[in-house]
């Protein structure tokens, strides 16, 4: 009788163990991609972190571009070439300061969309503080929602693939329209430089 009970209990434990083992395997496949990479809720292809960065040489090219736009003695104020979050800041000491940031970390594209949504949520209905679509910079999609200019910040935000470029153009000598045009040209150049 005891042996029969033990075998029956052992059989139930064995089935429970096999069910839990199968469940663990299924969960592991949900958490990891085909190559065993970690997966997260809301994963989409193309969100992976990349080694794209604004290197020191890229920062020199961007500095020359700012100087060519009318900056007198533009120098590099900061350069952080480490991926996935790199930056280049140039200034002339007379009020011109241009900051170019690259976010190439995991889900940078989603962070861009979140930032634009929050910008509208917290700053509407002031048109100077909400994003205005800019064509020809970000990914070529309908309604140009992949590049935005926020006039009151004199800042351009743009995303291509999983690279998010931010260009903040501060200069008391230029109108907002001029700053937007200059920031747009710098964002295009930064995308070209970081497309490795």
pLDDT tens-digit profile of 35-63? 556 555 455 566 788 899 999 999 999 99
| Predicted pLDDT of residue 59 | 96
pTM: 0.77
**How do beta strands 163-170 and 75-80 pair?**
unpaired
DSSP letter string over 71-127?
-SS-EEEEEE--TTEEEEEEE-SSS-EEEEEEE-STTHHHHHHHHHHHHHHHHTT-T
| Predicted pLDDT of residue 62 | 96
Instruction: Write the CB contacts of 28 (distance below 8 Å, at least 6 apart in sequence).
Output: none
Predicted confidence band of residue 28 (pLDDT cuts 50, 70, 90): very low
pLDDT tens-digit profile of 154-191? 999 999 999 999 999 999 889 999 999 999 999 999 99
pLDDT tens-digit profile of 74-120? 999 999 999 999 999 999 988 899 999 999 999 999 999 999 999 99
- Give one word for 191, left, alpha or beta, with left for phi > 0 and alpha for psi -120 to 50: alpha
- The domains of the chain, with CATH numbers, are 1-39 (no CATH), 56-193 (3.40.1000)
């Amino acid at each position: 009788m005891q042996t029969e009970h033990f075998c029956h209990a052992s059989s139930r434990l064995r089935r429970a163990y096999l069910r839990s083992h199968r469940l663990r395997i299924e969960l592991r496949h949900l958490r990891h991609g085909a190559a065993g990479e970690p997966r997260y809720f809301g994963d989409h292809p193309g969100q992976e972190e990349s080694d794209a960065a604004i290197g020191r040489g890229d920062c020199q090219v961007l500095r020359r571009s700012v100087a060519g736009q009318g900056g007198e003695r533009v120098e590099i104020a900061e350069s952080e070439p480490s991926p996935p979050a790199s930056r280049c800041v140039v200034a002339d000491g007379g009020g011109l300061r241009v900051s170019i940031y690259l976010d190439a970390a995991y889900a940078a594209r989603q962070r861009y969309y979140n930032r634009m949504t929050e910008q509208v949520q917290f700053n509407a209905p002031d048109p100077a503080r909400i994003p205005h679509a800019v064509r020809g910079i970000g990914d070529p999609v309908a309604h140009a929602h992949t590049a935005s200019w926020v006039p009151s910040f004199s800042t351009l935000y743009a995303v291509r693939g999983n690279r998010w470029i931010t260009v903040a153009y501060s200069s008391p000598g230029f109108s907002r329209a001029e700053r937007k045009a200059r920031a747009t040209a710098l964002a295009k150049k930064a995308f070209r430089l970081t497309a490795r």
